[in-house]
């Protein structure tokens, strides 16, 4: 039963959608609406099974509740996954938009892995409960975002991760700048590449990995990065490991092989199990809780959807990620708890759990 699923956490609703005409198969998980509508992106992914898709939706939606609460946003947490089919066409996206609309505003979507801001404009033909639209009204096909913020949230996520890494190296290494700091980045998508560029400009040394050779080649050519294998990079000797691909990369085996004092990256659900936070702590490694450090993207799309800010206010809100993490690190040191446990306790209090 769903209620017995390991990652079911008193979710308010888990909705399954199938559309025979378009082939749509999707899950929308609403974890909490305590602070507002459940906001979280949609992932378009080739899952090994329906159960794997459900697990992802449950874990990601809970993470969004925590992320939005810790970012101080008037939003709850939700997540959607579309089980990948051969073609992602307009008809499928419109069917997904209709599915969102049927929830009457309880869930607000945006782009995540496998989705783009253009996809959001197609979804917006069937529902207004969508964000991450292109900034240009012309590009948005008449469905622009409501704030000067908006568009692809990747760069905003990357900026928050950059600031979070800065908080981590200050706390763990006593460093006030990135000159010579070695960062190993797993994943060079819209977030990982933007982060790599930001770190390079700040003087960091980079090692990168991605499943797409053209991306690592670009980083090597333009940023002077060394290149490692997508799994091998987890054991790279560096100052910071920054997972920016998919989640669950920190498990018993990979944690034992870590060769860094800091893990701080953009990927969601980096800890494979609740026990893995304690494993990281036991190794003396500082972990930046993923839903705190990677909140820049949702801060951006929230401003757009709520019509409650512009680019300057988004930048100011993202800047607060750095002191927020500094507080978590200090609290964890003071009471001996792992950083993920400290952050979870803060977030659950904010959502009334």
Residue 84 and residue 114 in contact, taking contact as beta carbons nearer than 8 Å: yes
The sign one gets for the Cα dihedral 166, 167, 172, 173 is positive
Residue 163 and residue 143 in contact, taking contact as beta carbons nearer than 8 Å: no
Q: What's the pLDDT score for residue 214?
A: 97
* Tokens read off for 181: 């700091």
Q: What's the pLDDT score for residue 6?
A: 85
| Residue owning tokens 């909490």 | 32
pLDDT of 142 above 80: no
Does residue 251 sit in helix, strand or coil? coil
User: What residues are paired with 343 via a beta bridge?
Assistant: none
Q: What's the pLDDT score for residue 151?
A: 67
The helix-helix angle for 321-335 and 154-173 (nearest 10°) equals 40
* Tokens read off for 104: 């009457």
pLDDT of 139 above 60: no
Question: What contacts 24+ positions apart, CB below 8 Å, involve 326-331?
Answer: 326/167, 326/170, 326/171, 328/289, 328/292, 329/167, 329/168, 329/171, 329/172, 329/286, 330/171
pLDDT of 135 above 70: no
Which of 4-18, 203-217, 295-309: highest mean pLDDT? 203-217
pLDDT of 221 above 50: yes
**Mean pLDDT estimate for the chain:** 93
Q: What's the pLDDT score for residue 150?
A: 61
Q: Is the pTM of this model over 0.85?
A: yes
What mean pLDDT comes out for the span 93-104?
98
Measured CA to CA, the distance from residue 329 to residue 175 in angstroms comes to 15
Numbers of helices and strands, H then E, in the chain? 13, 12
Enumerate the active-site residues.
79
Q: What's the pLDDT score for residue 304?
A: 86
Measured CA to CA, the distance from residue 158 to residue 106 in angstroms comes to 28
Q: Which residues contact 49 (CB under 8 A, 6 or more apart)?
A: none
pLDDT of 1 above 90: no
pLDDT of 328 above 90: yes
């Amino acid at each position: 039963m769903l209620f017995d699923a390991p990652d079911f956490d008193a979710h308010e609703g888990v909705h399954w959608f199938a559309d025979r005409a378009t082939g749509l198969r999707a899950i929308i998980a609403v974890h909490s609406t305590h602070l507002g509508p459940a906001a979280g992106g949609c992932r378009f992914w080739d899952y090994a099974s329906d159960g794997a898709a459900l697990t992802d939706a449950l874990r990601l939606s809970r993470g969004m509740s925590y992320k939005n609460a810790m970012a101080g946003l008037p939003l709850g947490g939700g997540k959607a996954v579309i089980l990948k089919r051969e073609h992602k066409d307009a008809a499928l996206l419109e069917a997904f938009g209709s599915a969102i609309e049927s929830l009457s505003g309880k869930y607000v979507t945006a782009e995540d892995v496998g989705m783009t801001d253009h996809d959001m404009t197609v979804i917006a033909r069937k529902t207004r409960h969508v964000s991450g639209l292109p900034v240009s009204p012309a590009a948005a096909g008449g469905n622009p975002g409501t704030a000067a913020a908006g568009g692809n949230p990747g760069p905003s996520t990357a900026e928050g991760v950059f600031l979070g890494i800065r908080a981590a190296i200050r706390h763990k290494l006593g460093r006030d700048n990135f000159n010579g700091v070695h960062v190993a980045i797993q994943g060079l998508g819209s977030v990982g590449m933007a982060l790599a560029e930001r770190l390079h400009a700040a003087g960091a040394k980079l090692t990168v990995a991605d499943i797409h050779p053209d991306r690592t080649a670009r980083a090597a050519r333009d940023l002077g990065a060394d290149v490692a294998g997508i799994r091998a990079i987890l054991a790279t000797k560096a100052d910071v490991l920054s997972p920016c691909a998919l989640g669950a990369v920190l498990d018993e085996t990979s944690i034992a092989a870590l060769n860094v004092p800091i893990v701080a990256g953009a990927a969601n659900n980096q800890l494979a199990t609740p026990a893995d936070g304690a494993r990281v702590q036991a190794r003396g490694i500082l972990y930046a809780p993923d839903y705190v450090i990677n909140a820049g993207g949702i801060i951006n799309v929230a401003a757009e959807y709520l019509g409650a800010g512009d680019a300057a206010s988004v930048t100011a809100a993202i800047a607060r990620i750095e002191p927020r993490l500094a507080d978590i690190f200090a609290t964890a040191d003071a009471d001996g708890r792992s950083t993920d446990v400290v952050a979870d306790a803060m977030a659950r209090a904010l959502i009334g759990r």
